[in-house]
Chains A and B, each alone.
Chain A
């Protein structure tokens, strides 16, 4: 049972435009949502997070939006740059334990 779902396996965006990566979840008890970025042959790197009590968190070019009623979050990258080409994992966690549940990932291609 996938508690965190990323329904788009891949996404292509023109350099300089906005990239929007989507994520849905089923467990309303999640306390934190996180985005990780992964390059080939490397481990995932933490990018940005949002607490379940917030609806937006911004860090430079990266903004995460949380819609709790829809159980949906999205990561916006603007402007998109070539180095943003990677696999992005959406993840979620409850304060009850240390376990982070990951989505399957979305591969983002930034086109020149």
Chain B
């Protein structure tokens, strides 16, 4: 019973394609996030959603569109993929109150050829 799950784990695709990564959490958390870990290993937040509402949008290109059908799911759709989009993408979730610890999914390694 994985707390935060992502699919797929690996994604290899051509430049210009459109792809989606799915994330689900069964922790009952109110807030979900997408992070990108680039080749330099920095983990940077891209988006956060609280109860299906966009809270944080960190100047990510508008080719990236998060979608939250309900508070347990936050999917990431990427249009017109570019080489620089190659990275590991992590989904995370947290409760709104208390210590701001976030629970991360296992990551999706995206490779754009």
Residues of A whose CB lies within 8 Å of any CB of B are: 32, 34, 36, 41-46, 49, 89, 93, 97-100, 102, 104-105
Report yes or no: A43 in contact with B41, Cβ–Cβ below 8 A: no
**CB-contacts of B45-78 with A (<8 A):** 45, 48, 50, 55-56, 58
Report yes or no: B102 in contact with A46, Cβ–Cβ below 8 A: yes
- Name the CB-closest residue of B to A91: B43
Q: Select the residue from B43, B55, B94, B104 with max chain A CB neighbours within 10 A.
A: B43
A93 to B45: give the CA distance in the assembly, Å. Answer: 12
Report yes or no: B43 in contact with A89, Cβ–Cβ below 8 A: yes
A89 to B90: give the CA distance in the assembly, Å. Answer: 14
Q: How many residues of B contact A (CB 8 A)?
A: 26
Given contacts A32-B100, A98-B55, A99-B56, 11 further A-B contacts (CB under 8 A): A36-B104, A41-B107, A43-B4, A45-B104, A46-B103, A49-B101, A93-B100, A98-B50, A102-B42, A104-B40, A104-B41
Report yes or no: B4 in contact with A100, Cβ–Cβ below 8 A: no
Report yes or no: B45 in contact with A99, Cβ–Cβ below 8 A: yes
Judged by a CB distance under 8 angstroms, whether B110 is at the interface is: no
Report yes or no: B4 in contact with A98, Cβ–Cβ below 8 A: no
Contact of A44 among B31, B42, B90 (CB under 8 A): B90
**What is the distance, in angstroms, from A50's C-beta to the closest C-beta of chain B?**
9
Please judge, given known A-B contacts A42-B107, A43-B4, A43-B106, whether A98 and B56 are in contact too, CB under 8 Å. Answer: yes
- Name the CB-closest residue of B to A39: B106
Across-interface contacts of B58 in A (CB, < 8 A) = 99
10 nearest CB pairs, A to B: A43-B104, A46-B101, A102-B43, A93-B100, A44-B104, A49-B99, A43-B106, A43-B105, A98-B48, A43-B90
A93 to B102: give the CA distance in the assembly, Å. Answer: 11
A112 to B31: give the CA distance in the assembly, Å. Answer: 41
A34 to B92: give the CA distance in the assembly, Å. Answer: 15
A104 to B105: give the CA distance in the assembly, Å. Answer: 19
Across-interface contacts of A100 in B (CB, < 8 A) = 45, 100, 102
**What is the distance, in angstroms, from A100's C-beta to the closest C-beta of chain B?**
6
